[in-house]
Amino acid sequence: MTTDAGAPWLIVGLGNPGPEYAGHRHNVGFMVADLLAERIGGKFKRAQKAQAQVVEGRMGPVGPANRRVVLAKPMSYMNLSGGPVTALRDFYKVPTANIVAIHDELDIDYGVLRLKLGGGDNGHNGLKSMTKAMGAEYHRLRFGIGRPPGRMQVADFVLKDFSSAERKELDYFVDRAADAVECLVTEGLERAQSAYNS
């Protein structure tokens, strides 16, 4: 499936709303979305047609690679992300292949990035909800958080803040993830994969 160069992109940071979740591993999608909003000079505001916060703007150099983008943070909980994302897709007339979900990924080491189009949800409730609502043919930026230590339950691990050791590198990894999204949107999946899939 190819992306539509003229259509806008919908870039969705997945997370849980509310200050009590802000620093959690599960909210790394929100962190990347916040940085992208800063880069395009916008502030998140409530969407009219969906349970989400959005920023509209442009991404990339002046010229043919410049793209119209809508950044979004669903304000439902993670496992209900599909409803707000589908509503935004329909409102902004975004082809499914022009959607990027930014999410935490347990099966990748901390800070490692993987870009891909389509595929399974790997037990991730945000992706599961999105795929159920609109099919699997959207882009994903998987941000590695690693596996829980010892016998810690997965749910407890993802709903905890990054460790102090992880936080030392978090800004760098979030910055790199934002770069990867920009590369995907302006230069395409293959170029972004070769530059950022480590």
Which sequence positions are flagged as catalytic?
Answer: 26
CA dist 11 to 24, 109, 154, Å?
A: 20, 23, 26
The beta strands (E) that lie in 77-151 are given as 99-105, 113-117, 139-144
In whole angstroms, give the CA distance from residue 123 to residue 83. Answer: 18
* Cα angle 136-175-93, degrees, rounded to a multiple of 5: 35
Number of residues written out for the chain: 198
The set of residues, in sequence order, having a beta carbon less than 8 Å from that of 103 and lying 6+ positions away, is: 14, 28, 29, 124, 126, 127, 140, 141, 142, 143
CA distance linking residue 25 with residue 47, whole number of Å: 25
